[in-house]
Amino acid sequence: MIPTTPDEALAELRAGNQRFVTGVPQHPNQDAGRRAAVADGQHPFAVIVGCSDSRLAAEIIFDQGLGDLFVVRTAGHTAGPEVLGSVEYAVTVLGTPLVVVLGHDSCGAVQAAREAVRTGSAPAGHLGAVVDAVSPSLLRAAREGVEDLDGIVDVHIAQIVETLLARSTVLAERVAGGACTVVGMSYRLSGGEVRTVAQSPDPLPAPAAPVDPALAG
Ligand SMILES: [Zn+2]
């Protein structure tokens, strides 16, 4: 069944990641039948705004197949105009109910940006654009007293979730209307699991435990 709501989409991604982590992937939707079925149209249930790192292949780590994920990847999972346009295409034209910002530990792009800021030297060529896109997260991490690389990655993931919503009016409207959720996740290279570090709208808090009448007095 194709997930059609943000909650269903998130549950399917988490289930797929769990299959991958535990070594029992199903490799769904990867055969000739699926290829033929989606040739005339796509209805991906999640957009992945992920880092380009070669170890972060979305369909593999979430155990999905053809037509399931709409994937936009840049080094350091940035949120420039082409990325925003791609996200907006998926959520408006394709009706995708979930956007995931996907970072990971030991991110080379975040590391390179940190080095560039620390040494005050601009990297050569277009690599400077990656550094510029990550720099606001470095400043935020510094303000928040976060110094370790993986902590900075978490800040950057949360920053990109907020940036997508701040820069894309149409995405913010979809989220406000309940049609779409934006989640920031961090992937661990060695274990393969994803961890949620940011979510908009905030997930509902766990319901309070019922009061025991015998104790209520
Ligand atoms: Zn990376």
- CATH number at 163 reads 3.40.1050.10
Residue 82 confidence (pLDDT) above 50: yes
Domain count, the chain: 1
Residue 192, in any domain of the structure? yes
Look at residue 214 and tell me if it is in a domain.
Answer: no
Residue 206 lies in a domain: no
Q: How far is the CA of 117 from the centre of ligand 1 (A)?
A: 17
Is residue 51 part of an annotated ligand binding site?
Answer: yes
Radius of gyration of the chain (CA): 19
What is the 124 CA–ligand 1 centroid distance (Å)?
19
Dist. CA 216 → ligand 1 center (Å): 52
Residue 209 falls inside a structural domain: no
What confidence score (pLDDT) does residue 2 get? Answer: 87
Predicted pLDDT of residue 207: 64
Residue 171 lies in a domain: yes
Residue 98, in any domain of the structure:
yes
Predicted pLDDT of residue 214:
62
pLDDT category of residue 215 using cuts at 50, 70 and 90 = low
Would you say 104 is a known binding-site residue? yes
Verdict on whether the full-model pTM lies above 0.85:
yes
**CA–CA gap between residue 213 and residue 217 (Å, rounded):** 7
Residues 107-145 have pLDDT tens digits of 999 999 999 999 998 888 999 999 999 999 999 999 999
Q: Is residue 173 part of a domain?
A: yes
pLDDT of residue 208: 66
Q: What's the CA-to-centroid distance between 95 and ligand 1, angstroms?
A: 28
Q: Ligand 1 centre and the CA of 40: distance in Å? A: 33
pLDDT at 69 over 90: yes
Q: Could you tell me if residue 217 is inside a domain?
A: no
What spacing in Å lies between the alpha carbon of 192 and ligand 1's midpoint? 14
The reply to whether 107 sits in an annotated binding site is yes
Question: If residue 162 lies in a helix (H) or strand (E), which one and from where to where?
Answer: helix 149-167
Q: Is the pLDDT of residue 210 over 70?
A: no
Contact 77/47 with Cβ under 8 angstroms?
no
Q: Over the stretch 144-187, which tens digit does the pLDDT of each residue have?
A: 999 999 999 999 999 999 999 999 999 999 999 999 999 999 99
For 68, the domain range is: 6-200
pLDDT of amino acid 122: 83
Task: Quote the Cα angle for 68-110-91, to 5°.
Answer: 30
Band of residue 203 on the pLDDT scale cut at 50, 70, 90: confident
